[in-house]
Structure 1
Amino acid sequence: MEMGLSPLVGCAYSPSHITGFFSIHDEPRNPLLRGSTGAGVSLEKGVVTSVYAQPSEKTHIEYVFNNQMFPLGEACIVKTVLDHYLGVAGEKYKILVEQQAAVPIGHGFGVSGGVALSLSLALNQALETGYTREEAAQIAHIAEIKCLTGLGTVLAEYYGGFELRTRPGAPGYGEVEQLSFPLDHVVVCVTTGPIKTKNILNTPTTKRRVNNIYANVVEEFVEDKSLGSFLKLSRRFADATGFETVEVQRLLKVFDRIDMPASMLMFGGGVFTIAHRKRLVEILKAVKTLETMRGWEIVVSRIAGRGACNL
């Protein structure tokens, strides 16, 4: 898409996010109050969004994700955020949205939340709509709820770091306790295939079971909010919920053999651990002994020291 000499520009970043254990709170009618409680870590590797906008006689939008153009009809969360900002702006624009994700989509990294959050911040900057950072994040949260792509991801990525979400909802409504973490540790993930979130938690019985398991896990976590406790209880949660695939179970056995606590990505076909940098080579060597690694992806990232922001 060609732009004039001085297009309006916005740029923003959001970390990605891994959830270890969670509880579902989707009863409120107000989407700002819907969400999840739980514990997780934000990864420094995330999503960067650039927006180029120019007033035009008619609205025209192009969307590029990881260097590939997509129709907006295939990107519910992007279209939802864009529709909100175009409605508020009250003008027609020619817009180019470019997004780069440093982690795979559909594998439990909260990419949809990062896409919505960084896009909302970038559009707010480019179109000069005047929202606060918190208000822009609320728009992203509502988009996630509407598109059924997540519940608590935006809240977690808004803050970054290692967190315990103690009250569900969008930023400004939900509450987060930010926890300390060692700077010499990295997150190591091995993905085996995508999982669609909306296909997993689609029955009241499953939701009740997950929430009951969470209640037992979080009661122990509040007594010891360390990364070690987080990994141990994440594994207990994953084992109890029964969401682990055969491939995930094989991977977990590999981590068990090298005495490295690990758990399933919630929700994605894969496993994660958090370890001292010195153990990285040992972990990668152990994982690569599996013969079925074709098509799998290994992601290594530091824990994000900041939440989503404009660049």
Structure 2
Amino acid sequence: MSTEGSVGRAFAPGHITGFFEIHNDPLPQKRGSTGCGLVLDGGIETTVSECVDMTEIFLDGIPVVAETTRAVVDKLVDFPVKVSCTSSIPIGCGFGASAAGALSVAYALNEAFSLGLTSNQLLETAHVAEVTNGSGMGDVEGQSQGGIPIRLSAGCPPYGKLDRVPSPPFEIFCVVLGELSTGSILEDRTIMNEINSAGREALRSLLSKPTLKNFMLLSKQFTLRCGLASERLLDAIEAVDAIGGLSSQAMLGDTVFAFSGAASREEVIGSLKEFGDVITYNVGSCNRLPLNV
């Protein structure tokens, strides 16, 4: 039920996937991906309020179609709303922006109009919108966790199961080189067969040694094997490796993300600067012990 004058606000973090395997299922709640990624302190902040004529969605003040976010709105309310999203992550570049938009609008609607839904119900709504629109397959689940979430089984609760790589907070350095079409890649059977095989092996290897360093190394191996990286992205990975850092490709985007590893943050930023503007995010965790990679 709508409440006149109600306003809801919510934030959902960005999520960078290092490697993944797609799991298709007729039931969208079971459809999704397994794999591992990083949850960022940047993301999408969303404000919703009821409006008179038709539902409008704005991203950084500009009207957008945002089919995944709109699908969440249509599922949760039967009256027009104004959705205003502010992003602190790049759009369409492997940061899970569509999932962050869907998840944040679900929480904002629940707050504004007292929908009485649980977190798992809101997560399910965002997940179904994401997989049915082909904008992603597992970011929503990752974003519901902190740190380095491991997606052990596909789908939203109760089907999807998650764990985490233990790690204290750390910085990730990113350079966006361009965009990749998630939909076109997910529709290519040959590419997906290779991705699924590589993702399955990477997850098995990570579970045998769940550390940040191993995650970064396995993500790089996944990137090289799947062949989705541009030449410039491969050059950026090589530049970071040369100074003792660890880097890989954000899936699915033409974006490099890097961790300092044996290098200093200044050395990593310096190695990435020649490829573009370096964006820094924090990855948080409850573990405050000395970093062990």
TM-score over 0.5 (shorter chain): yes
Aligned partners of 1:7, 1:269: CA distance in 2, in Å?
A: 41
1:108 aligns with 2:105: no
1:38 aligns with 2:29: no
Aligned partners of 2:38, 2:109: CA distance in 1, in Å?
A: 26
3-state DSSP class of the match of 1:222?
Answer: helix
Contact 1:62 1:69 in 2 (8 A): yes
3-state DSSP class of the match of 1:20?
Answer: strand
Which structure 2 residues correspond to residues 254-269 of structure 1 after superposition, within 5 A? 254-269=239-254
Report the CA distance between 1:202 and its aligned residue. 1.5
Aligned partners of 1:305, 1:129: CA distance in 2, in Å?
A: 30
The CA deviation string for residues 206-242 of structure 1, in whole angstroms up to 9 with x for no partner, is 2222111122222221111000000011101111111
Residue in structure 2 matched with residue 161 of structure 1 by the alignment:
147
3-state DSSP class of the match of 1:151?
Answer: coil
Contact 1:186 1:276 in 2 (8 A): no
Which of 166, 174, 179 is matched with 1:189 structurally?
174
Residue in structure 2 matched with residue 61 of structure 1 by the alignment:
55
The CA deviation string for residues 40-70 of structure 1, in whole angstroms up to 9 with x for no partner, is 110011111111126x5xx422322112223
Contact 1:53 1:127 in 2 (8 A): no
Contact 1:107 1:191 in 2 (8 A): yes
Q: Could you tell me which runs of 5 or more consecutive residues in structure 2 were left unpaired when the two chains were aligned.
A: 287-293
Aligned partners of 2:20, 2:222: CA distance in 1, in Å?
A: 9
TM score, norm. by length of structure 2: 0.91
Which structure 2 residues correspond to residues 236-275 of structure 1 after superposition, within 5 A? 236-275=221-260
1:123 aligns with 2:120: no
TM score, norm. by length of structure 1: 0.86
Contact 2:236 2:256 in 1 (8 A): yes
Which of 42, 54, 70 is matched with 1:79 structurally?
70
The CA deviation string for residues 84-126 of structure 1, in whole angstroms up to 9 with x for no partner, is 1223xxxx34x22111110100110000000000001111111
Aligned partners of 1:305, 1:118: CA distance in 2, in Å?
A: 21
Aligned partners of 2:262, 2:244: CA distance in 1, in Å?
A: 15
Q: Percent identity?
A: 29
Residue in structure 2 matched with residue 14 of structure 1 by the alignment:
12
Residue in structure 1 matched with residue 279 of structure 2 by the alignment:
299
The CA deviation string for residues 130-170 of structure 1, in whole angstroms up to 9 with x for no partner, is 11111011100011011100001101101122111101001
Aligned partners of 1:195, 1:208: CA distance in 2, in Å?
A: 18
Residue in structure 1 matched with residue 118 of structure 2 by the alignment:
132
Structure 1: which amino acid aligns with 2:124? Answer: Q
Report the CA distance between 1:278 and its aligned residue. 8.1
Aligned partners of 1:25, 1:108: CA distance in 2, in Å?
A: 19
Contact 1:44 1:305 in 2 (8 A): no
Aligned partners of 2:68, 2:277: CA distance in 1, in Å?
A: 25
Aligned partners of 1:172, 1:115: CA distance in 2, in Å?
A: 22
Report the CA distance between 1:304 and its aligned residue. 4.0
Structure 2: which amino acid aligns with 1:169? Answer: G
Aligned length: 284
Q: Could you tell me which runs of 5 or more consecutive residues in structure 1 were left unpaired when the two chains were aligned.
A: 1-5, 307-311
